[in-house]
Amino acid sequence: KNPLKAAVEKAADTLREPSDGPEEGVPGKPAARTPSLEQPTRPVEPLPPKADQTGPAEVSPTGQELSGDPAEAAQAGAHLTTAQGTRLYDTDHSLKAGERGPVLLQDHHLREKITHFDHERIPERVVHARGAAAHGVFVGYGTAGDVSRAAFLAEGVATPVFTRFSTVLGSRGSADTVRDTRGFAVKFYTDEGVFDLVGNNIPVFFIQDAIKFPDIIHAGKPHPDREIPQAQSAHDTFWDFVSLHTEATHHTLWNMSDRGIPRSYRMMEGFGVHTFRLVNAAGATTLAKFHWKPKLGVHSLLWEEAQVINGVDPDFHRRDLADAIEAGAHPQWELGLQTFPDTEDQMFEGIDLLDSTKIVPEELAPVQPVGVLTLNANVSNYFAETEQVAFHVGHLVPGIDVTDDPLVAGRLHSYLDTQISRLGGPNFAQLPINRPHVPVNDMLRDGRHQSAVHRGVAPYRPNSLDGGCPFLAGATEGAFVEAPVTVPEASKVRRAPASYDDHFSQPRLFWLSMTPVEREHIISAYTFELSKCYEQAVKERTLRVLANIDPVLCQEVATGLGLPAPEATVELGTPAPSPALSQLRGTWPGDGRVVGIVADADSDLAGVRTVREAALAAGMVPLVIAPTGGVLDPDGDPVTVQRSFTAARSVEFDAVLLAGVPAAGKDAYGARDARAARAAGAGAVPRGGTDPRVVLMLTEAFRHNKVVGGWGDVAAVLEQADVSPGGPGVVTGTDAGAVFDALAELLGAHRVWDRFPAGV
Ligand code: HDE
């Protein structure tokens, strides 16, 4: 007798349940299988359909109760354990043959600990690697009902959201305040499934067709030989590409404007970029562009500030977002729609709606608010949430569909594809941060990191074995049904329509819509970036591009580079400016603004307390800066010091105030600490003068056109920093409260624009 066959039969006897048919098996427990080398006489499959085919398992296959909270599985119980749940008595010493002997290979705890550590990192995102995120809620106004049936847009519907902001070019550990586009991706966990609005803070893109994406990114990323520069566009390959590929001109101009260096993620607009197709309850379609409008206004850094911050606090934007949320200054944005009739040509006022290098000026199609987003909670674990979140343009809900923009088509492929390699397989939707907040009943099975224990035997349709489940829904039951738009009859071609050839009219519109000071910043940004290029041909070609935007822009940059300015090769139009494109000429709330208060033990500490209280009441962040850390007036009413002179730099603050200097002629602000100041590299301290770090702080803040000043006898200190006490944006007086009120009013405009030579 074949010994193998005998062994199999013996095993089958022990495994077989008392009943010999699957129908009488224990519900929820797989019937015993008969291992056999031959076809069994009676089929053991199919298993009976289970009563609950969809709900999450309440017990694991081994009978352990599941709470559904994955954090609990990882961190339950008071004792340190191995990954297998066995308690440990020591995790600080390897198992050795004697105290000074060799480490033993049998130390399974050492091996588990180090092996897990070795695999802690996952590949960073190929673009948008550096990010910061927060949780929040979106509440619909109900104003979009005419154009979209999306349930989360209905009046008063509150939908949980997760928002991730990012830079594009830098690696995960790069600095925040580089000149770059910012990602603005929002995941809505709606009652109809997940909707992702994966946008940027710039409303146009470098390319019109996704097939060019690897080209622009390869050009923008560091040079492949030395891998420099990090997170910058100021290098030859970037300018080589964008000067040859002139459809990038519009996006590049936005990058060179103040939009490329936001003050805060809380102070950026967001744009869906593409035109989307909305579908209402009656099935009628409307084309639309999505806009996020920050309640705090759109504000930027100055380039020198941005560069200093990169060294002083590379996590500036990340910190700002987390601090503001923690302090209760919850940032808000209104979601708005620009809508256009869904015409056959997909054009609006001569603008091609399928060309993502074009905007539609808000003066032609106003942004209509449809809901409000509030970010109100920080992440608990950066890796689990911010790093593992997976956005995808194809995560759509009923009522929001895509158009034939060739850029969006490529994105619909790319996002899913990239998550598979980044998150190690196709089951990333099961990660807690990516899970929909509605029941999921797909027929996707197995794969790496599968954590669901699927039931039933028929993950296919049609089936009869699982009772025909799951069922299909119709449009009235919340199914996503593609809008049945007509596709024009055409031949296959690799070509773009003629309207895509216009690369300069909208950059010119943008330039003409800027205020003088914004134009000056654009000129300096181009001059800076091109000065970092080595290839003369790249600089000359870029100047030819600039000539097609505006002769003044071209001439000024050419002068900065020491090159002749070429003539335009296209006819320069005179489009009506779009004031909505400018960031200036408004006032906004001061929530989360950081006010530095310079004080020492001899300062007017009552005034410091007054200013702190007023700033906190106004939703601002007051930080006391003193010669050393610790507290001022420890024996009276102590004032905690948040920054010492050694650790503080002006770029951290939106405004700087000096807390009254008591006695005239006395050393101000810790000049007694001269040795410490010198050691910190602040230079020589004049006898009887103010600490040079305070002087630097004032000079720098003043140069960056921030509000500066103080109360009491501070004129002499201001003058040491070349700050004229009566000048614009310099607030002085005898009463601390009044000085703060003047400061708060000026902060509403973000900066003291009168101090810029070009003006607003
Ligand atoms: Fe992305 N983009 N993108 N992009 N994109 C990615 O997906 C891609 C584009 C945007 O915080 C990747 O998960 C292609 C436009 C944001 O996790 C990748 C094209 C806009 C984020 C990808 C574009 C964006 C990404 C890399 C050309 C604004 C970060 C990692 C057609 C509307 C999302 C990832 C986050 C990330 C592909 C163009 C925004 C590779 C092929 C236009 C905010 O899939």
Q: Express each pLDDT in 645-669 by its tens digit.
A: 999 999 999 999 999 875 544 566 7
Complex confidence, ipTM: 0.97
Largest CA distance in the chain: 112
Pick the atom of ligand 1 nearest to 389's CA.
17
Whether 402 is in the pocket of ligand 1, judged by its Cβ within 6 Å, is no
Judged by average pLDDT, the poorest of 57-61, 145-149, 243-247, 464-468 is: 57-61
Confirm if 341 and 684 have CB atoms less than 8 A apart: no
Alpha-carbon gap, residue 431 to 433, rounded angstroms: 6
Determine if residue 508 is labeled as part of a ligand binding site: no
Alpha helices in 327-374 (DSSP H): none
Alpha-carbon gap, residue 719 to 698, rounded angstroms: 10
Q: Is the pLDDT of residue 684 over 80?
A: no
Work out the burial of residue 15: count CB atoms within 10 Å of its CB; fewer than 13 is exposed, 13-18 middle, 19 or more buried.
exposed
Mean pLDDT of the residues in the chain:
90
Q: Read off the pLDDT of each residue in 335-347 and give the average, rounded to a whole number.
A: 97
Predicted confidence (pLDDT) per residue in 23-64, tens digit:
443 344 444 444 444 444 444 444 444 444 445 557 777 787
Note whether 131-227+266-434 and 594-755 share their fold.
no
What angle in degrees, to the nearest 10, is found between the helix axes of 236-244 and 213-220? Answer: 150
Cis preceding-peptide flag for 229 (omega within 30 of 0): yes
Q: Phi/psi zone of residue 619: left (φ > 0), alpha (ψ -120 to 50 degrees), beta?
A: left
Which superfamily does CATH assign the domain made up of 594-755 to? Class I glutamine amidotransferase (GATase) domain (3.40.50.880)
Whose CA is closest to atom 27 on ligand 1?
Answer: 210
Q: How far is CA 448 from its chain centroid? A: 28
Q: Where are the beta strands (DSSP E) in 214-331?
A: 270-271, 276-279, 285-294
Domain ranges of the chain: 1-60, 131-227+266-434, 504-581, 594-755
Confirm if 185 and 196 have CB atoms less than 8 A apart: yes
Confirm if 337 and 289 have CB atoms less than 8 A apart: yes
Phi, psi of 730 (to 5 degrees): -110, 115
Confirm if 736 and 660 have CB atoms less than 8 A apart: yes
Cis preceding-peptide flag for 484 (omega within 30 of 0): no
Whose CA is closest to atom 44 on ligand 1?
Answer: 415
- The most confident of the ranges 42-56, 75-89, 220-234 is 220-234
Whether 526 is in the pocket of ligand 1, judged by its Cβ within 6 Å, is no
Tokens at residue 232, please? 């910058």
Work out the burial of residue 411: count CB atoms within 10 Å of its CB; fewer than 13 is exposed, 13-18 middle, 19 or more buried.
buried
Q: What is the pLDDT of residue 63?
A: 81
Say yes or no: domain 131-227+266-434 is CATH 2.60.120.620.
Answer: no
Q: How many CB atoms lie within 10 A of CB 87?
A: 10
Q: Is the pLDDT of residue 544 over 60?
A: yes
* Percentage above 90 pLDDT, the chain: 80
Q: Read off the pLDDT of each residue in 309-322 and give the average, rounded to a whole number.
A: 97
Q: Read off the pLDDT of each residue in 589-609 and give the average, rounded to a whole number.
A: 93
- Provide the 3-class DSSP secondary structure of residue 260: helix
Determine if residue 612 is labeled as part of a ligand binding site: no
Q: Read off the pLDDT of each residue in 290-318 and give the average, rounded to a whole number.
A: 97
Identify which of 313, 332, 328 has the alpha carbon closest to the alpha carbon of residue 378.
Answer: 328
pLDDT-derived band at 69, boundaries 50, 70, 90:
confident
Measured CA distances, 758 to 298, 307, 722, 750 (Å): 20, 22, 20, 17
Q: What is the pLDDT of residue 662?
A: 58
Tell how far the Cα of 277 is from the centroid of ligand 1, in angstroms.
20
Alpha-carbon gap, residue 163 to 374, rounded angstroms: 10
How far the first Cα of the chain sits from its last, in Å, is: 98
Q: What is the pLDDT of residue 70?
A: 72
Q: What is the pLDDT of residue 43?
A: 43
Judged by average pLDDT, the poorest of 25-34, 83-92, 265-274 is: 25-34
Which CATH code is given to the segment(s) 504-581? 1.20.1370.20
Whose CA is closest to atom 38 on ligand 1?
Answer: 411
Q: Which residues pair with 401 in a beta bridge?
A: 277
Whether 410 is in the pocket of ligand 1, judged by its Cβ within 6 Å, is yes
Whether 162 is in the pocket of ligand 1, judged by its Cβ within 6 Å, is no
Tokens at residue 304, please? 């020198």
Could you tell me whether strands 621-626 and 594-598 are parallel, antiparallel, or unpaired per DSSP bridges? Answer: parallel
Q: Is the pLDDT of residue 547 over 80?
A: yes
Whether 276 is in the pocket of ligand 1, judged by its Cβ within 6 Å, is no
Identify which of 740, 704, 736 has the alpha carbon closest to the alpha carbon of residue 723.
Answer: 704
Q: What is the pLDDT of residue 72?
A: 75
Alpha-carbon gap, residue 684 to 673, rounded angstroms: 12
Confirm if 590 and 617 have CB atoms less than 8 A apart: no
Tell how far the Cα of 166 is from the centroid of ligand 1, in angstroms.
10
* Burial readout 573-602 (b: 16 or more C-beta within 10 A, e: otherwise): eeeebbeebbbbeeebbbbbbbbbbbbbeb
Alpha-carbon gap, residue 273 to 474, rounded angstroms: 30
Whether 131 is in the pocket of ligand 1, judged by its Cβ within 6 Å, is yes
The 8-class DSSP code of residue 371 comes to E
Whose CA is closest to atom 18 on ligand 1?
Answer: 415
Pick the atom of ligand 1 nearest to 409's CA.
31
Alpha-carbon gap, residue 117 to 330, rounded angstroms: 35
Alpha helices in 548-684 (DSSP H): 551-561, 605-617, 674-679
Measured CA distances, 729 to 447, 455, 546, 621 (Å): 62, 68, 35, 19
DSSP string, 227-257: --STT---SHHHHHHHHHSGGGHHHHHHHHS
Pick the atom of ligand 1 nearest to 126's CA.
26
Q: Is the pLDDT of residue 674 over 80?
A: no
Determine if residue 435 is labeled as part of a ligand binding site: no
Alpha-carbon gap, residue 594 to 419, rounded angstroms: 38
Q: What is the pLDDT of residue 26?
A: 38
Predicted confidence (pLDDT) per residue in 454-504, tens digit:
999 999 999 999 999 999 998 889 999 999 999 888 999 999 999 999 999
Q: What is the pLDDT of residue 34?
A: 41
